[in-house]
A and B are shown apart, each in its own frame.
Chain A
Amino acid sequence: MGVGPTIAGGAVMQTRRGDHASDEALELYATHSLAEPALAEIEEHLLVCSQCQLQLEEIDGFVRAMRGAARQLDQEDESRRRNWARISRALTFRRFGWAMAVTALVLGAVALRISTKRVQEPFALLLETSRGSGIQHAPAGRRLELSLDTQGLPPLSAYVLEVVDESKHIQHESQVTADHSVARASLPAGLRRGTHFVRLYSPTRELLREYGLQID
């Protein structure tokens, strides 16, 4: 196959390259696909024809390269298949566990959201200076809605509100207006634990009133 008819069984071959072995015959030889008597004809010819020897060397190189490359790709495919089979088995086995874990995560997230909502509810308190009104208390970290009694203060268009801690560090500062002797202020982030002082100033920074506030 691939080797043309020989003359009286000798080593002269009829091929497409004149008197030399065809590439196809040489490739069949290189891939061990030739049987007798074609095998004998090729081998006898190769004993005496250096041109075909060179051609066979090139074909050998090509065949080796294709074989090596095909082997590598097959091994890579096989490795991928094994890895995937391993992953599939693991997922099947632990599927229930994964489902439970995901469910727990979801429930936890819902619970966290609920508790976070509760924390965000503002704490309202009225700060007064009348005799008998004790120091006010409020929870730490909660949004504070302050209502400050401004009765007796000069009726200004705006007041400066300042909240300081025990170390006199300013924790909050804003401008407030009074409506019916009550000035309102909102502290969204709330305050840290400790004693705080809520001060009202005039626009010219004259201290008008101070209220005590205990954050617990």
Chain B
Amino acid sequence: MSGFKTEALSAPLDSTVTPADPSGSSPPTAGTHWVDLVERIKTEDQSGMEELYRVFSRGVRFYLCRQLGPQDLEDKVHDTFLIVVQAVRRGELREPERLMGFVRTVVRRQVAAHIDQAVHTRRQQVGIENGTVVVDLNRNPEQTAIQQQHEQIAKTILHSISKRDREILTRFYLLEQSQEQICEQMSLTETQFRLLKSRAKARFGELGKRRLGRRTAVHFS
């Protein structure tokens, strides 16, 4: 367990959430499915537990992996579900229709707790400065190689555009400035900004298909 403590969570009263399509091919459609699911979990109905896992496991795993890396992923996913189920059974989910929001909150707190723990541990070991996020994304060599290839493609794109356009993309992707800030400081319209980004993405997809060939090519619709 990560040391996470369950708390009573509140959710907007006017939310109407719909259950997910487990296949992921289309989003939630039924209105009260969550309510039924929560009831089943409360009554310790095994099918309810299974459905909860089926609906959310992929998404929870995706979120945790993206934030914390693949290390001990299954344990973290398991912890998350345990927390959700226990909280539901304790009646802490006051608005069953907000189950998705509740799961989201639990997952986010898991991530925050893990990062806090990791920072604390590392600080004790190596004396890192406060606020440093220590996350091991733990890419394997193949992923690293793919990442390097992608960077080469991106470098090609940045070399091929004007200095001004390069500055715009650098501000957005590297410096993480907002669209509004960039448009204001560089006298751009929103349309011009979006057009530049979409051209860069399209070029990235083209070059990716050419150089990488198969399914690892980047596709942008």
A40, B100: Cα distance in complex, Å: 10
B155 in the interface (beta carbon within 8 A): yes
A64, B147: Cα distance in complex, Å: 8
**22 pairs from A and B in contact (CB 8 Å cutoff):** A10-B16, A10-B28, A11-B27, A12-B28, A27-B197, A32-B176, A47-B104, A48-B19, A48-B59, A49-B24, A50-B59, A53-B62, A60-B66, A62-B154, A63-B173, A64-B150, A66-B158, A67-B173, A67-B174, A68-B151, A69-B158, A73-B166
A203 in the interface (beta carbon within 8 A): no
Determine the chain B residues whose CB is within 8 A of the CB of A216 once the complex forms.
none
A121 in the interface (beta carbon within 8 A): no
Using a Cβ cutoff of 8 Å, how many contacts connect chains A and B?
148
- B154 and A66: CB pair below 8 A? yes
Given A9-B16, A69-B154, A73-B166, also A47-B63 (CB < 8 A): yes
Determine the chain A residues whose CB is within 8 A of the CB of B220 once the complex forms.
23, 58, 62
Given A46-B63, A47-B56, A68-B147, also A19-B26 (CB < 8 A): yes
Determine the chain A residues whose CB is within 8 A of the CB of B20 once the complex forms.
47-49
Determine the chain A residues whose CB is within 8 A of the CB of B151 once the complex forms.
64-65, 68-69, 72
Interface hits, A55-102 → B, CB 8 Å: 58, 60-74
B24 (CB) vs chain A CBs: closest residue: A50
Given A48-B100, A66-B200, also A13-B63 (CB < 8 A): no
A23, B62: Cα distance in complex, Å: 18
A70, B167: Cα distance in complex, Å: 9
